[in-house]
Structure 1
Amino acid sequence: MNKRAYNFNAGPAALPLEVLQQAQEQFVDFQGIGMSIMEVSHRSKQYEQVHNETQALLKELLHIPDNYKIMFLQGGASSQFTMIPMNLVGEGQVSSYVHTGSWANKAIKEAKLFSDVHIAASSKEQDFKEIPDLSALELPEQAAYLHITSNETIGGIQYQQFPQTGKVPLIADMSSDILCRPLDVSKFGLIYAGAQKNLGPSGVTIVIAREDLVQESPANLPSMFRYDTHIDNNSLYNTPPVYSIYMVNLVLKWVKEKGGLAEMEQFNQEKTKLIYDVIDQSQGFYRGVAAPADRSIMNLTFTMENEALEKQFIQESQEAGFVGLKGHRSVGGLRASTYNAVPYESCKALQQFMLDFQKKHG
């Protein structure tokens, strides 16, 4: 095999090489059944075992309490922007949101189609470079939930601690940082995540929900948009994204083999420190975007003196085998996404490239 790229894509993103190799070995013949897992019936015992084992692995790694349900859905996190207010906002209630950037804004926009929206806090005035102070958070009595985006992929900010919401359920879009660190699921009413960052390939969305919140959806909702439809049918009401769930299964086993989420957090902190140190010690050649206290360990955002220099950085990095370092089209700049599967060696290589680039162009 040729040398693998230094993959810093924001999503779909790097997958563990060991997982890809195992999937390759089983691609044509899954466990000796003479077929690929993509070819088997989703009602078969072979797939049922993968399906249920994947749920069990999630429960084990995240220490999910027994009164929570796991759903494998489709449509990405974007579909959850709609399903959450459709299912959880009752008559006379409002939905509350913390506005921290692009993805929070998209969730807010969809919620406004189905509910009155209350903005509990926002960092818009800070150009979404930090998480707003939530220490004195006040929620309206009629709030159905408070929604947060735990990690803003585009802006590169991440919650270091989560707000206390009392009796109001806390809901989190964790698409870009789930499994990057330990998590107390019991603090949340619902967590959702598109798989294509830390969980596996695109195609499946994981929803972890407290049972009392989702056991009975409004009667006027179509079947596919009701959480209770998927809970009652163990996410098998319709054909699930079989191969994506199988890949999530392999990734979860990989995380477990690495020691779990505490070890994963330490690993992520060590490798991102390599890059943040270059930024901080560059005397302004590289300029971090996010406030230091709220920096993400998944998406590292930075800029340079001008756009021409950033374009030169992208060009030379691509020539050196780096992929995905261009910032999101909506904000420009530069970004390195260092999800769980991005090796330490890739971050070390980026560190050296950045040092060499500064020496050459500084």
Structure 2
Amino acid sequence: MSLDETSHKPHDRLAAFLAEDMAAVNTLIRDRMASEHAPRIPEVTAHLVEAGGKRLRPMLTLAAARLCGYAGAHHVRLAATVEFIHTATLLHDDVVDESRQRRGRPTANLLWDNKSSVLVGDYLFARSFQLMVETGSLRVLDILANASATIAEGEVLQLTAAQDLRTDEGIYLQVVRGKTAALFSAATEAGGVIAAAPEDQVRALHVYGDALGIAFQIVDDLLDYGGSSAVIGKNTGDDFRERKLTLPVIKAVADASEAEMAFWRRTIEKGHQGDGDLAEALAIMARHGAMERTRDDALAWADKAKAALAVLPPHDLRDMLSDLADYVVSRVN
């Protein structure tokens, strides 16, 4: 399953409930990604923005604001801001990772070049800050600016930790908070702030987004060793081939025998991989129950996300957000 399969999925129920708001967000995105002087900017941006992504992050902002009773228009600006930040990070990530495919299509850096991807990503970051300022909320600006810094910090941390077998679960969590959870939590928290929700509700929305983002990323990392390209948008085993130390491998390394450590040093630290090494990696992880324990972690984070919603007012949107947390981890059930 993917997060965009059929109409009874929580994501699709959210989209239906927020359809009018999302139409306004999409209009604003198209308007603000335009450039009078550099036509390559909308070309590159449109390639990614219109590639079939389901706008989960901006919907979280809209849902949080509506759940807290917001009736203004600034939540649309914040939702577009979140989507621009997300799109900018994807453009940069594909350059850093030398990726060739994103959402089943060739990446922008492959179709154009690395310079275009980096510079258009920079443009979208600048646009996102313009939109933040238009809300007139210094606190919202603080939340989203901090998230942007955390995202960049997480990406740099991942560069140094990715092939280092000393990377433990604490460092992994820092990376995940940077690359995924920071924007989830900022999206939900900013929605509560713009709605002037009580502090306990704003905090709950932050905790929900953080835990949902961590669960989401753990599941993606787990699916890399047991999913299909149709499910995860990349080939099974890509993380192993790219020598990324994700949670299933970290758990297996922590319990590894001398022979297993020699295998991980050769394949992950040194990058000497051959036929059969992916199968051997899977066998080692199976011996140590690494996949099952990783799945348990994802379920625990999803439970934390759902528990955080308890202080929020009863609402159909609250139920949808709870169901979304369940659905994120149902992909590995």
Shorter-chain TM range is under 0.3
Say which structure is richer in helix: 2
Q: Which has the higher contact order (CA 8 A, sep 6+)?
A: 1
After TM superposition, the score normalised by the length of structure 2 is: 0.28
After TM superposition, the score normalised by the length of structure 1 is: 0.26
Say which structure is richer in strand: 1
